[in-house]
């Protein structure tokens, strides 16, 4: 999914890579020719700050949904990726913000996806889709902010307030 900020925006595709590791740490990957057939659907019902993607089932580690963050500061790029994932889980999976935050902490893998385009870092947040099972919901998930998932994770005074217990703050 790519955000579009202007009417009549165009798309450009190039720089084919046969392989590239997460991080693209120097000027090159394994460059190759590319023949692509692309199909686009404009989704006016989805608003994105940064690109998001869903991996194919052909990947060895299964299907994932990923959000990205791009910034000159690594921590800011990570914050953007996590915020994007929380937004995705709230808007498209129906989780409360608290549950989405907790789920991101226990199930999302952050990856440094690119460092070669100084001064910007690209961080991706990958969520394995198999955690939702065939129903599309997390097992034991209830609606509302005080789900069993949240209560099972919370301990001490924070459990009574309904606030996540994490000490890390993503503003």
**Between 38 and 101, whose confidence is greater?**
101
Work out the mean pLDDT of the chain and round it to a whole number: 80
- Residue 112 has a pLDDT of 94
Residues with Cβ < 8 Å from 7, sequence gap 6 or more? none
Residue 119 preceded by cis peptide, ω within 30: yes
- Mark out the alpha helices in 73-135 (DSSP H runs): 74-93, 97-107
**Between 60 and 109, whose confidence is greater?**
109
Q: Is residue 131 scored above 50 in pLDDT?
A: yes
Which residue carries 């800011």 as its tokens?
Answer: 76
Query: Encoding tokens for residue 167?
Result: 């000490």
Question: Domain 47-161, CATH 3.10.28.20 — does that match?
Answer: yes
Closest by Cα among 164, 69, 166 to 125: 69
CB 158 within 8 A of CB 146: no
121: left (phi over 0), alpha (psi -120 to 50) or beta: beta
Q: Work out the average pLDDT over 99-117.
A: 94
pLDDT, tens digit (0-9, with 9 covering 90-100), for 52-91: 988 876 666 788 999 999 999 999 999 999 999 999 999 9
3-state secondary structure of 27: coil
């Amino acid at each position: 999914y790519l955000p579009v900020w202007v009417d009549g925006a165009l798309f450009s595709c190039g720089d084919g890579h046969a392989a590239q590791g997460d991080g693209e740490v120097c000027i090159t990957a394994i460059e190759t020719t590319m023949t692509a057939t692309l199909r686009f659907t404009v989704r006016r019902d989805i608003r994105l700050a940064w690109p998001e993607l869903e991996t194919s089932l052909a990947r060895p580690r299964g299907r994932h949904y990923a959000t990205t963050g791009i910034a000159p500061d690594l921590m800011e790029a990570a914050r953007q990726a996590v915020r994007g994932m929380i937004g995705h889980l709230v808007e498209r999976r129906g989780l409360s913000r608290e549950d989405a935050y907790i789920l991101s902490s226990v199930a999302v893998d952050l990856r440094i996806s690119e460092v070669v385009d100084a001064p910007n870092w690209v961080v991706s947040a990958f969520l394995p889709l198999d955690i939702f099972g065939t129903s599309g919901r997390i097992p034991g998930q209830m609606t509302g902010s005080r789900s069993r998932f949240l209560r099972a994770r919370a301990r001490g005074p924070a459990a009574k307030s309904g606030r996540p217990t994490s000490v890390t703050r993503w503003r």
